[in-house]
Structure formats: structure tokens, C-alpha cells
Chains A and B, each alone.
Chain A
């Protein structure tokens, strides 16, 4: 699986959009971008995934650049409950690949 690079930490004001970047410059054509988050002391939670088109669900939007070398997870109206570690993972769904979690981005939502 391709490696990802994320900032160690970020701050965002409550009510504003939180934009979390992820670099995956070595991603291959059959690899998807997945995002998970982990709120303190809880199990990770799946957020969203995409291949090349932008995706949106009830939790977030995922914007993938045209060359697919980077992506941004957008939480449109961040709340204090969105404070968590966010993991960006690239993974092929053509093989039985395991998820490799890196260290993620620690997002702090400020009141």
C-alpha cells in the first residue's frame, strides 16, 4: 500500500470548516483513499472513502486532486465532538490488503 503523510496536529475553531490534508504521492491506480477517526479512548470510526471522484456523506466530504496524489477531508461545521485523531489510509480493494494505520492528524476543535 502507498504511504501517506499527514500533519501531526491542527486546530480549528468551532463552527468553521475543518480541512485535513493528506499526501499520497505514490498511490497507484487501484488504491482508494480511506479516512477514519479515533476519538479519545474509543475505537476508530470509518468516515469516508473514494477513488478519484469527490465524495460526500453525512459526516464529511472528501476532495481528491486530479492527479490523486493528495486529498482533503472536510468537516463542514466542526463541533467539539470532532476533536479526534484522523487517519488517512490508502488501500487497494483488489487484494486482501490490511489497513496500515499511521500516526494521523490530531485535530483540536477550539471553542
Chain B
């Protein structure tokens, strides 16, 4: 099992550009999550999906959108990137929304 994979690993965007971060899991987990982590801080939840086809906002959803069309994939979109979105983004999955979460390796995003 690859577990949770994220693409790309690194990305540099200019202010105003858009992009999609991709997350895939091969553990047949029902729930998936997107977090961001800023230097010296803990993780903050952006959006989560309790099951395929459903999504909910987390602590810091502004400026992002998500899509969970397939059970194994959870996409995070930045519609118009801003320097404040420079961060490391982690995707996670769990067998159900109340279980322990398994994390991907992260995507390091810089917005200039």
C-alpha cells in the first residue's frame, strides 16, 4: 500500500494564479482531510470530507475549494493564490471520521 500520496511535492505560484493540489489514498478510507501548517504552528483544518461526495468546512476554509468525486481522491483548489497561502499542505485519511488519521508527505506551496 502506498498509503496517502500527494502531488505535487513542491509548487511556486504567482499571486492570482490558480492550482489544484491532489491527494489519493489506497486504504479504502471513507474520510479525507486537508490541513495547512505554517512555520512554528500546529496543523489547521481547511476542509474535510466524511464520505465520498460530501465536504465540510474546517477552521480556515477561505480562499480554498475542494472536490471529492471519487472515494480515493480529495482535491484542494486555490482559485486565486495569495501570499498568505504560502504553507505546507497535508492531506489525511481515516477509515471513518472518528478514527485515527493517516497523513501524506505534504505539498510545499510558495506564493510570490
Set of chain A residues within 8 Å of B66, measured between Cβ atoms: none
Set of chain A residues within 8 Å of B100, measured between Cβ atoms: 34, 46, 49
Q: Give the segment of A12-20, A63-71, A72-80, A90-98 that binds chain B.
A: A90-98
Q: Are A43 and B104 in contact (CB under 8 A)?
A: yes
Q: Give the segment of B40-48, B67-75, B79-87 that binds chain A.
A: B40-48
Set of chain B residues within 8 Å of A41, measured between Cβ atoms: 106
Q: Are B98 and A96 in contact (CB under 8 A)?
A: yes
Q: Are A43 and B106 in contact (CB under 8 A)?
A: yes
Set of chain A residues within 8 Å of B103, measured between Cβ atoms: 43-45
Interface positions, chain A 93-110, Cβ under 8 Å from B, are 93-104
Cα distance A45–B43 in the bound complex, in angstroms: 13
List residues of B whose CB falls within 8 A of some A CB: 4, 33, 35, 40-45, 48, 50, 58-59, 90, 92, 97-106
User: 8 closest A-B pairs (Cβ-Cβ)?
Assistant: A43-B103, A101-B42, A93-B98, A101-B43, A46-B100, A96-B97, A44-B103, A98-B45
List residues of A whose CB falls within 8 A of some B CB: 34, 41-46, 49, 87, 91-104
Cα distance A46–B33 in the bound complex, in angstroms: 15
Q: Are B105 and A43 in contact (CB under 8 A)?
A: yes
Q: Which residue of chain A is the closest to B103 with respect to CB atoms?
A: A43
Interface contacts beyond A93-B98, A98-B45, A101-B44: sample of 14 additional A-B pairs, CB < 8 Å, sorted by A? A41-B106, A42-B106, A44-B43, A44-B92, A44-B101, A49-B100, A91-B98, A92-B98, A96-B50, A97-B98, A98-B48, A100-B45, A103-B40, A104-B42
Q: Are B42 and A43 in contact (CB under 8 A)?
A: no
Cα distance A101–B90 in the bound complex, in angstroms: 13
Tell me the interface secondary structure of chain B in the complex.
loop
Set of chain A residues within 8 Å of B59, measured between Cβ atoms: 98
Q: Are A102 and B42 in contact (CB under 8 A)?
A: yes
17 contacts between A and B (CB under 8 A): A41-B106, A42-B105, A43-B92, A43-B103, A44-B43, A44-B103, A45-B103, A46-B101, A46-B102, A93-B99, A94-B98, A96-B97, A98-B45, A98-B59, A99-B43, A99-B45, A102-B42
